[in-house]
């Protein structure tokens, strides 16, 4: 497994355990988080830990579906389960710096949508 994939697996395990010390130890001081869907951005380790602790309270849990790492980059696919049992899949791209700390995170949360009628005849449903 690449270093990047290992670090990202540790990152998600620490988040799931609310182990914010370990979580923080994996981040660069100048980590940059972006969510392109809302155009939200968080700069810096301290702000990013606060964003996770205060922005997502409650008894959520997450399962890692897949992590792929190559060199100093990784992508993850997780399932996030809310307190009410609803689940959402999250896709995340990571960059690590030369010290193997996570320095950039880009985060996507796709929602269900209606299948366009233009391709209904070309697919099965599951």
| Least spacing, CB of residue 102 vs its own copies, in Å | 14
Q: Which of residues 6-35 bind its own copies (CB under 8 A)?
A: 34-35
- Of 15, 27, 39, 20, nearest to 104 (Cα)? 27
Q: Which stretch binds its own copies (CB under 8 A): 1-9, 11-19, 20-28, 96-104?
A: 1-9
Backbone angles phi, psi at 67, to 5 degrees: -130, 130
Task: State the binding string over 35-74 for its own copies (x if CB under 8 A, else -).
Answer: xxxxxxxxx---x--xx--xxx---------x-xxx--xx
Virtual torsion, Cα 60, 61, 65, 68, nearest 10 deg: 90
- Of 21, 79, 73, nearest to 52 (Cα)? 21
Longest dimension (CA), the chain: 51
| Least spacing, CB of residue 72 vs its own copies, in Å | 10
Residues that bind its own copies (CB under 8 A): 1-2, 5, 34-43, 47, 50-51, 54-56, 66, 68-70, 73-75, 77, 89, 91, 93, 106, 108-115, 118-119, 122-126
């Amino acid at each position: 497994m690449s270093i990047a994939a290992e670090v990202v697996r540790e990152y998600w395990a620490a988040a799931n355990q609310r182990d914010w010390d370990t979580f923080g130890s994996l981040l660069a001081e100048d980590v940059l988080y972006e969510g392109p869907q809302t155009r939200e951005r968080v700069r810096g380790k301290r702000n990013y830990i606060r964003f996770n602790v205060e922005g997502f309270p409650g008894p959520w849990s997450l399962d890692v579906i897949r992590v792929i790492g190559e060199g100093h980059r990784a992508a993850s696919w997780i399932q996030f389960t809310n307190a009410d049992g609803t689940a959402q899949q999250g896709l995340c791209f990571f960059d690590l710096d030369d010290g193997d700390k996570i320095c950039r995170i880009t985060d996507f949360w796709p929602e269900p949508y209606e299948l366009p009628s233009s391709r209904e005849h070309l697919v099965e449903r599951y």
